[in-house]
Amino acid sequence: MKLLPFKNVAITGGFWQKRQTVNRENTLPIEYRQCKDTGRIDAWKLEWKPGMPNPPHIFWDSDVAKLIEAVGYSLAQFPDPKMEALMDELIDWMEKAQQPDGYLNTHFIAVEPEKRWTNLRDWHELYCAGHLIEAAVAYYQGTGKRKMMDILCRYADYIATVFGPGPDQKHGYPGHEEIELALVKLAEATGNKKYLNLAEYFINERGKQPHYYDIEREQRGDTAPYRLGGPDILPYAYNQSHLPVREQKTAEGHSVRACYLYAGMASVARETGDQSLIDACKTLWDNVTTKRMYIHGGIGSSRFGERFSFDYDLPNEEAYAETCAAIALAFFAHNMMRLEADSRYADVLERCLYNGIISGISLDGKQFFYDNILASHPLYHKYSGQKSPRRQDWFGCACCPPNIARLTASLSDYLYTQTDDTLWLHLFAEAKATTTLADQTVTLETKTEYPWDENISCLLTAEREGEFTIAIRLPEWCRNPQIEVNDQPIDIDAVKKQGYAYIKRTWKSNDKIDIFLPMPVERVYAHPSVRQDDGKVALQRGPVLYCIEECDNGPDLAALRLPPIAEFSLKDAPQEIGGVPMLVAPAIRRDTTGWENKLYSTEPPKYTATTLTAVPYYLWANRAPGEMTVWINE
């Protein structure tokens, strides 16, 4: 399956248009300013000299790359001459910074040139290269300008001479994966299979014995034991090089690295058809999504090493669930979607997008979470060494803000995939898409207030009558989806396959598809082995996960109980969180009478009636500070 040409899909209204507008108007200028003020932009002038303060850091290039990538995607639909000029200037510096052999990295050119390629394990050279490649492809897709892509092709060509199976080449691979998926994008954008082959080389070499990181460590004369990222159950599991990738059965180590790798593996497998690699992707997908994923789509539950821990270990208040990790899982899902038409991939993608990813940014697009906890007590953070329970302006390690910006700007890429005669609708958003189906140009215009509204309506325009298939995702969360074509109901059971309704017919202009996805409030339970969630329930409406906050429910949220029979009503939220539907239900609260000066008592709990009000999880911490919890005692 392929994506639609990037410029041919536009988000034209609704939920994601609002997010894209905020992204363009608030987030991108803020991120440019942060990159400028912290020296990340000017690092490309290569003016830093030994003895000067603020040397370019080993991962600064990636932050700037993600900014360029976000701007590139945004420019595809929304001209912004000022921002474009800033990017073009930056790309000019980049061109000048590029070394004669093609090498391109501000830190290892300006600060430690003698250390180039000497520590793939810990430093971020190939990771930065990957982000620059992704940026180059996006900037080309968004603006049609090839300059950055040409620069990065030269860099990639050089990398392909350094790394490879030859006797004079390094048999290494990145300690922080990312370049694998980027190289497949570059191969797609340029048609040059060399980049695909290099991606495949990195993936296949990973975890082989003798271990490359042992070899390069010895070459450095480094005798220190490897301790990065906390305790390692398996040596090198932190960076997924503990085993060759096809032998890895569980998702291990740093979760962003892991899912970038898996997304790269899925990209390569798609292009090569390598069945053993496809199988490896599915095995890891199953482990991540059925054993190690939060209900908000976050992954990497342990903050000790920002890593996966073990099956069913999903602490809430202590969750790590880095924003970048949920984004990485979305990339993995997006690539699996293209590999196999099974709705479980888009189900996870949607779970991440509406919950654990956009929780990482404030509603105004100006502040960011690094970790996305599922329960919060405002005092807990002061004593636990955890990050603040309020979104921050920026981070020293600033991976998350530009990551969410580039994803938001590229969201139109996630709605559809296609073959020559089938168009899949994976996500529901107000959008206009034009592509070639069954040898003619077809346009699909979608109107919807999804995820708040249950109705999605699509209007088709075609050059002529023609037979092709439109495959509509039937979301896992929806018990009773309904589809009508030109007001005639479709028998979904008859056309359903792996979570999509395949509507094959002779289509013509003005054909209308109405999708109705009933969205009652659902109570969701976790697997009995998730010890942190037992006895608790989460609330979901459509794809949107809800939580309860102190500002609506008072303190001591754990003292609230949601009776199993309580009925929900919808109520508009305050405008400060956008007036979206809140959930309101009768509930009970533990009575504190008789508990004065007592910490423990044999008196069984007593309750008083109260009301429980839940808001979309991603909107939490946009109002007064206080407690929050996703999982509610039932």
In the complex, which residues of this chain contact a second copy (CB under 8 A)?
230-231, 233, 286, 289-291, 293, 295, 302, 304-305, 307, 309-310, 312-313, 318, 377, 379-380, 382-385, 522-532, 534-536, 538, 555-559, 561, 564, 589-592, 595, 597-605, 633
Which member of 35, 128, 324, 399 is catalytic? 399
- Return the closest-CA partner of residue 238 out of 182, 171, 309, 326: 309
In whole angstroms, how far apart are CA 162 and each of 101, 102, 178, 287? 11, 11, 18, 34
Q: Please report which helix (H) or strand (E) contains residue 34, including its range.
A: helix 28-37
Give me the phi and psi of 390, to 5 degrees please.
Answer: -120, 145
By three-state DSSP, how is residue 67 classified?
A: helix
Indicate left, alpha or beta for 365 from its phi (over 0: left) and psi (-120 to 50: alpha).
left
Contact present, 179 and 128 (Cβ < 8 Å):
no
Query: Is 624 exposed, middle or buried, given 0-12, 13-18 or 19+ CB atoms closer than 10 A?
Result: exposed
CA 551 to chain centre: 29
By three-state DSSP, how is residue 392 classified?
A: strand
Question: What is the 3-class SS of 98-119, one letter each residue?
Answer: CCCCCCCCHHHHHCCHHHCCCC
49: which 2 tokens? 């000299």
- Return the closest-CA partner of residue 332 out of 276, 293, 362: 293
Please tell me the distance from the alpha carbon of residue 189 to that of residue 137, in angstroms, as a whole number.
7
The nearer residue to a second copy, 262 or 507, going by C-beta atoms, is: 262
Please tell me the distance from the alpha carbon of residue 618 to that of residue 595, in angstroms, as a whole number.
35
The nearer residue to a second copy, 467 or 591, going by C-beta atoms, is: 591
Question: What is the 3-class SS of 162-198, one letter each residue?
Answer: HECCCCCCECCCCCCCCHHHHHHHHHHHHCCHHHHHH
Q: Among this protein's residues, is 306 annotated catalytic?
A: yes
Please tell me the distance from the alpha carbon of residue 12 to that of residue 434, in angstroms, as a whole number.
13
Q: Among this protein's residues, is 352 annotated catalytic?
A: no
Indicate left, alpha or beta for 299 from its phi (over 0: left) and psi (-120 to 50: alpha).
beta
Sequence-separated (6 or more) residues with CB below 8 Å from residue 156: 129, 133, 183, 186, 194, 195, 198
Sequence-separated (6 or more) residues with CB below 8 Å from residue 230: 238, 302, 304, 305, 307
Contact present, 107 and 114 (Cβ < 8 Å):
no
Give me the phi and psi of 454, to 5 degrees please.
Answer: -90, -5
Please tell me the distance from the alpha carbon of residue 440 to that of residue 422, in angstroms, as a whole number.
12
Contact present, 630 and 316 (Cβ < 8 Å):
yes
Contact present, 561 and 584 (Cβ < 8 Å):
no
Indicate left, alpha or beta for 631 from its phi (over 0: left) and psi (-120 to 50: alpha).
beta
Contact present, 444 and 436 (Cβ < 8 Å):
no
Catalytic positions, please? Answer: 306, 399
